[in-house]
Amino acid sequence: MELWYTEKQTDTFGITAKITKTYVHEQTEFQQLDVIETEQFGTMLVLDGMVMTTVKDEFVYHEMVAHPVLFTHPHPEHVLVVGGGDGGVIREIMKHPGVKKAVLVDIDGKVIEYSKKYLPSIAGELDNPRVEVLVGDGFMHIHDHKHTYDVIMVDSTEPVGPAVNLFTRGFYQGIYEALKDDGIFVAQTDNPWFKADLIQTVNRDVKEVFPIVRVYCANIPTYPSGLWTFTMGSKKYDPLEVDETAIPEIETNYYTPRLHKAAFVLPRFVENLVKS
């Protein structure tokens, strides 16, 4: 008998993958959590029926959350990751020796626990001495840490369940206040095929808070539509003004110094979504 996992990405469209094993099927305090083995993409973490990461394509998302913003800020020493309990973004941050401390705050400790057990290639840096892992509410952590971070990365699920508050203007204002005077933040902002309204709303809200706002894209095959956007809000530094020849080569599979600015060149229909 064949077993298949299907994610209904809209009411009329989805993706499906053949699975060979189920490692975890658990309702946590906050969400339905599943870890499954797929033939095409290897081990897959699923939250509330949505693919969060797979061992085959995870590098795209995690590299593109971390490196564009860390190479835009000239001296990122204190970094916060909201969400991201699988540890992939932390792994990429640890490739930057100038980062003195990275704090990860995820509301669901089970994500951290099972990622360490079943996704060690992704979660392997969570025990790095430069990393502090906290189980708690990222929204409240930001509220309680004014003027603390050089860079804040929001690695959240889609705006459902515990992540709803992470897509509000009030949250972006809180991020602004938690950043230092030259701080930058970045957030995943979903896909332009199915969530155009969300991208427009986030872009408008972030522009009301930050003087410099840039949107960029990456290709992630297991995410809805395969085309994913990220939104960067900066108090001072513009990612388009970075000298890409000064970006050091680091061990990556997607991000490169040449890709840094290229990622901000948007398809016309995405460009139209984020016009002022």
Judge whether 181 is annotated as a binding position.
no
Whether residue 155 is annotated as binding a ligand: the answer is: yes
- In the chain, the DSSP E strands lie at 3-8, 14-27, 32-38, 42-47, 50-54, 78-83, 101-106, 131-135, 149-155, 179-188, 212-219, 227-234
- The letter for the amino acid at 44 is M
Instruction: Name the nearest CA neighbour of 107 among 87, 131, 136.
Output: 136
**Residue 76 is assigned to a ligand binding site:** no
190 is in an annotated binding site: no
Q: Is 106 marked as binding a ligand?
A: yes
SS3 sequence of 149-175: EEEEEEECCCCCHHHHHHHCHHHHHHH
The answer to whether 157 is a known ligand-binding residue is yes
Contacts of 136 (CB under 8 A, 6+ apart): 105, 106, 107
Cα 27 → chain centroid: 23
Ligand-binding site membership of 245 (annotated): no
Q: Are 54 and 246 in contact (CB under 8 A)?
A: no
* Residue 39 assigned as binding residue: no
| 127 annotated as a binding-site residue | no
Of 34, 57, 150, 155, the catalytic one is 155
Residue 237's SS3 state is coil
Catalytic annotation present for 155: yes
Question: Which residue ranges are tagged as binding site?
Answer: 31, 62, 86, 106, 137-138, 155-158, 162
Question: Which residue ranges are tagged as binding site for S-methyl-5'-thioadenosine?
Answer: 31, 106, 137-138, 162
Question: Which residues have a catalytic role annotated?
Answer: 155
